[in-house]
Amino acid sequence: MNAPTTSLPGGTWTLGNATITRFGYGAMQLAGPWVMGPPADHDGALAVLREVVAAGITHVDTSDAYGPRVTNELIAEALRPYPESLFLATKVRANRDAQGGWPTARRPEDLRKQVHENLQSLGVETLDLVNMRMGDAEGPKPGSIAEAFETLVELQREGLIRHLGVSNVTTEQVAEAHGIAPIVCVQNMYNLAHRHDDDLIDTLAADGIAYVPFFPLGGFTPLQSDALSGVAVRLGATPMSVALAWLLQRSPNILLIPGTSSTAHLRENIAGAGLSLSDEDLADLESIGH
Ligand SMILES: NC(=O)c1ccc[n+]([C@@H]2O[C@H](COP(=O)([O-])OP(=O)(O)OC[C@H]3O[C@@H](n4cnc5c(N)ncnc54)[C@H](OP(=O)(O)O)[C@@H]3O)[C@@H](O)[C@H]2O)c1
């Protein structure tokens, strides 16, 4: 499970008993439009996943809800037998309905079912990391997460989950979960233009807990801003490279899971994320989040 050294930008981070590359990959965009159904280019999706591993990336983020089952099954098809170093992070609670909606699995038995579905579609006996995804499409919602989180803790005790995380959560919910059982990461929306979690990131860094921003490039509508383009032009880089480099430079506990369905974009993102941003670059980028 260890990947102690890497030439990928950002180096490595140790999560529980696993050392993984900070430059990871988010598989959600491999499913069909709006994360429903199969990809238009099945072989192209497999090629992206194989390129991820060939590039030395050891952290892949997915969920059985993507497709549903589509990204997990693509990962299994492309990558089994899994390399020893590969760390597969999945998430539960967000579910799918036939219309493409994201209903929430609330009952303990439904969360258990989701964990078993992830085990089956990924073809593993233990899940490296399960994030409990709270809130909704609009973001985190306040309230206790204890009952749902305790169900995951039981599944961890049963040996089905190695590490626990929480996603789309408030700062209070992070503290509540961590008071019940150790969490190794928080996965919330964060990027150059959405910096609500700045204080949380710093607190987690002090506690040695990873922060994994989802939509690091802006998600379904990739980031666009004059300031971002200006810095990119000055550095001779792409705006996406600058956005990823900014995240890596923002805090050592930030792990990247940018999504792409294109091997060309994957290579471009890996090549660009190691950019060193100067104080002038950072000052220019500051305006985007405010
Ligand atoms: N916990 C949660 O609630 C939650 C929610 C959403 C997502 N996630 C996770 O976060 C991961 C990342 O999110 P995401 O993939 O939706 O958003 P993202 O990484 O912010 O952006 C992906 C988009 O950027 C484009 N892109 C990537 N590289 C590019 C490049 N070099 N040039 C131009 N466009 C580029 C992709 O298009 P191409 O395919 O054309 O490259 C895709 O449309 C997901 O895969 C998923 O694992 C978690």
Say yes or no to pLDDT of 253 above 80: yes
> Maximum distance among all alpha carbons in the chain?
54
Query: What is the rounded distance in angstroms from the CA atom of residue 230 to the CA atom of residue 233?
Result: 5
Whether 190 is a known active-site residue: answer no
27: Cβ below 6 Å to ligand 1?
yes
262: Cβ below 6 Å to ligand 1?
yes
Query: What is the rounded distance in angstroms from the CA atom of residue 214 to the CA atom of residue 167?
Result: 9
Question: Which listed residue (66, 82, 190, 211) is catalytic?
Answer: 66
Q: What is the pLDDT of residue 4?
A: 61
204: Cβ below 6 Å to ligand 1?
no
Query: Please, what is the average pLDDT of the chain?
Result: 96
Average pLDDT over residues 110-137: 97
Lowest mean pLDDT among 72-76, 89-93, 101-105: 101-105
Of 228, 240, 217, nearest in space to 28 by CA? 217
Q: Which two tokens stand for residue 98?
A: 């036939």
Q: What is the pLDDT of residue 273?
A: 97
Surface-to-core class of residue 269, CB atoms within 10 Å of its CB (0-12 exposed, 13-18 middle, 19+ buried): buried
Pocket test for ligand 1, best of 35, 96, 129, 214 (most atoms within 8 A of CB): 214
214: Cβ below 6 Å to ligand 1?
yes
User: Residue 1: pLDDT band by 50, 70, 90 thresholds?
Assistant: low
pTM for this model (two decimals): 0.97
Average pLDDT over residues 137-142: 94
Q: What is the pLDDT of residue 3?
A: 52
218 CA: nearest ligand 1 atom: 20
Say yes or no to pLDDT of 290 above 80: no
pLDDT digits (tens, 9 = 90+) for 36-60: 999 999 999 999 999 999 999 999 9
3-state secondary structure of 280: helix
Centroid of ligand 1 to alpha carbon of 71 (angstroms):
13
Given a contact cutoff of 8 angstroms between Cβ atoms, the answer to whether 128 and 156 are in contact is: no
Say yes or no to pLDDT of 7 above 80: yes
Higher pLDDT: 170 or 95? It is 170
265 CA: nearest ligand 1 atom: 31
Query: What is the rounded distance in angstroms from the CA atom of residue 264 to the CA atom of residue 12?
Result: 23
Q: Scanning the structure block, which residue is given the tokens 């591993």?
A: 53
Q: What is the pLDDT of residue 180?
A: 98
DSSP state of 30: G
pLDDT digits (tens, 9 = 90+) for 163-220: 999 999 999 999 999 999 999 999 999 999 999 999 999 999 999 999 999 999 999 9
Q: What is the 3-state secondary structure (H, E, C) of 125-168?
A: CCEEEEEEECCECCECCCCCCHHHHHHHHHHHHCCCEEEEEEEC
pLDDT digits (tens, 9 = 90+) for 55-69: 999 999 999 999 999
For 245, what's the count of Cα atoms within 13 Å in the CB-facing half-sphere?
23
